[in-house]
Amino acid sequence: MSRTRATRSAAAALFVLAFGVSAAGCGSGPAEPTPPPTVSAASSAPAAPGAATALPASKPVRVRIPAAGVDAGPVLDLGLAADGTVEVPSVADADKIGWYDKGVTPGQTGPAVLIGHFDTVKGPAVLKNVSKVKVGDLVSVARADGKTAEFKVRALEQVDKSAFPTQKVYGNTDRPELRVITCGGELTGGHRPDNIILYADLVA
């Protein structure tokens, strides 16, 4: 593991642990609520026996998740908000996906993290069809260097934001992995109480 990657991953984990970030907090519910997405807690498969060769650092520029009808770009850079929480796309950018830039880029060794809205006050957003994604589906991330990192979904998880699995999502891994995070659950007080997390492994 390079010192740079280790430092970036450790820093990301420290910020998330320190502030209890659930990542992808949703805004108030839309005037016409979208049915809540749900995924089965048992939606998982064994890790692929051999991961593809890791790629050098290069920012993501476009994300495609065919099963969910997602073809989104450009990809936003997301850092940390003033209160130390992970930034999320603005309501104006609800049709885009963001990349958490304190971590690795998609294709590098480690967990790259993408974040997008399920819905906002304006209605359905970029990940509105996340519930259609199944284990084995592909997520393609086009990168600034012209390469495309192809990931296969290994697991889907729905968790209460108060029990967000920080280490599982942001902790160091010994191979290239991807997380895609959005909101889920029935609207409560204008907000969705859960996070839906897709875990995927680099396959090409």
pLDDT tens-place string over residues 150-174: 999 999 999 999 999 999 999 999 9
Tokens 């192809």 correspond to 150
Q: What is the pLDDT of residue 55?
A: 98
* Other Cβ atoms within 10 Å of 140 Cβ, number: 17
Signed CA dihedral, 94, 114, 141, 39: sign only:
negative
Identify whether the C-beta of residue 165 lies closer than 8 Å to the C-beta of residue 113.
Answer: no
Q: What is the pLDDT of residue 117?
A: 97
CATH number for the domain harbouring residue 130: 2.40.260.10
Bond before 74 cis per omega within 30 degrees: yes
Residue 109 has pLDDT above 50, yes or no: yes
Instruction: Report the chain's mean pLDDT, rounded to a whole number.
Output: 84
Q: Could you give the number of structural domains in the chain?
A: 1
Q: What is the pLDDT of residue 182?
A: 97
Tens digit of each residue's pLDDT (9 = 90 or more) over 6-60 = 434 444 443 443 333 444 456 555 545 566 666 654 455 566 556 689 999 999 9
Q: What is the pLDDT of residue 189?
A: 85
Residue 109 in tokens? 């060794």
Tokens 């026996």 correspond to 49
DSSP bridge pairs for 106:
108
Q: What is the pLDDT of residue 7?
A: 39
Q: What is the pLDDT of residue 18?
A: 33
pTM above 0.85, yes or no: no
Q: What is the CA radius of gyration of the chain?
A: 16
> What is the residue range of 171's domain?
3-202
